[in-house]
């Protein structure tokens, strides 16, 4: 049976270039992101922004005073749009096409890596996400920071019944054969015109993933529990859990 592939992920984001570019220009950082970055990152840090898209988090970080930043994204068209915006924002940020499961950087290169907008959970298959975590661990310096977000299937009561039925499908072997494991979802998106793949974990799953691959959790919180984001942020993004971690 066919499974969701990397090519599928590239195609899903190709349809959202214009929307992401506009969001980058007009919205930028969420209040929750600004809090996390200013609390856990130091201005002299070298930062790798994985899944940077058109630079929604990358450009504001530069504006906040973080000068040593590289943005990487799987989708070439996203990087092309980010490079065009680089002229608009007049920064010295370096943007490259790249895959999180095989990063083109030496060991111990960065003080921090960021994987915003639930990007890590857009990688299909648990083993592939483990590869990405190991790569992030590899390129981080000692005590380096890894900051990312995920959805949390235990936090939204309106979806509890949906996940109950999904669990029953997986136990009976009646799940969508294109998917890899329970928590996988093919759904519509606020930012793409076509359906997208996303893995929706719970908190315990992510804690286990981090602990088994060399990371300590410094802080985790559900966005809406602490921040009332702007209407534009809420319009363009679903709720998520922040994870702030450090390399053991």
- Please write the tens of the pLDDT for every residue from 57-67: 999 999 999 99
Residue 193 above 80 pLDDT?
A: no
Residue 206 above 70 pLDDT?
A: yes
SS3 assignment, position 47:
strand
Domain that holds residue 235: 6-247
* Residue 188 binned pLDDT confidence (cut-offs 50, 70, 90): confident
In angstroms, rounded to a whole number, what is the distance separating the alpha carbons of residues 102 and 248?
Answer: 21
Our measurement of the distance from residue 173's CA atom to the centroid of its chain's CA atoms, rounded to an integer in Å, reads 29
Phi, psi at residue 180, to the nearest 5°?
Answer: -100, -45
Say if 90 falls within a structural domain.
Answer: yes
Phi, psi at residue 23, to the nearest 5°?
Answer: -65, -40
Mean pLDDT confidence for 9-21: 90
Count of domains for the chain: 1
In angstroms, rounded to a whole number, what is the distance separating the alpha carbons of residues 226 and 107?
Answer: 35
Say if 118 falls within a structural domain.
Answer: yes
Residue 191 above 80 pLDDT?
A: no
Mean pLDDT confidence for 220-238: 95
Task: From 182, 128, 187, select the one nearest 6 (Cα to Cα).
Answer: 128
Interior CA angle at 53 toward 217 and 135, to 5°?
A: 45
Phi, psi at residue 147, to the nearest 5°?
Answer: -120, 130
pLDDT score of 192: 67
Q: What CATH code is carried by the domain that includes residue 239?
A: 3.40.50.150
Residues in the chain: 248
Say if 233 falls within a structural domain.
Answer: yes
Say if 173 falls within a structural domain.
Answer: yes
CB 223 within 8 A of CB 47: no
Which of 13-22, 59-68, 135-144 is predicted least confidently?
A: 13-22
Say if 112 falls within a structural domain.
Answer: yes
Say if 1 falls within a structural domain.
Answer: no
Give 104-131 as a DSSP string. -S-TT-EEEEEE-TTGGGGS-SHHHHHH
């Amino acid at each position: 049976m066919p499974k969701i592939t990397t090519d599928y992920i590239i195609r899903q984001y190709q349809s959202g270039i214009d929307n992401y570019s506009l969001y980058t220009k007009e919205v930028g950082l969420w209040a929750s992101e600004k809090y996390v970055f200013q609390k856990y990152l130091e201005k002299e840090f070298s930062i790798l922004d994985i899944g940077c898209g058109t630079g929604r988090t990358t450009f504001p970080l530069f504006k906040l005073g973080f000068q040593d930043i590289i943005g990487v994204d799987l989708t070439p068209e996203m990087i092309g749009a980010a490079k065009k915006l680089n002229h608009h924002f007049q920064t010295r940020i370096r943007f490259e096409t790249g895959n999180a499961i095989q990063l083109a950087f030496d060991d111990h290169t960065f003080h921090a890596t960021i994987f915003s907008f639930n990007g890590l959970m857009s990688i299909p298959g648990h083993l592939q996400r483990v590869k990405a975590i190991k790569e992030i661990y590899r390129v981080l310096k000692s005590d380096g920071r890894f900051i990312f977000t995920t959805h949390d299937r235990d936090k939204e009561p309106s979806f509890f019944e949906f996940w109950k039925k999904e669990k029953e499908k997986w136990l009976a072997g009646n799940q969508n054969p294109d998917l890899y494991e329970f928590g996988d979802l093919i759904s519509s998106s606020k930012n793409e015109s076509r359906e997208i793949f996303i893995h929706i974990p719970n908190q315990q799953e992510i804690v286990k993933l981090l602990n088994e691959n060399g990371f300590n959790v410094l802080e985790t919180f559900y966005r809406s529990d602490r921040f009332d984001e702007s209407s534009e942020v809420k319009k363009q993004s679903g709720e998520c859990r922040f994870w702030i971690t450090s390399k053991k």
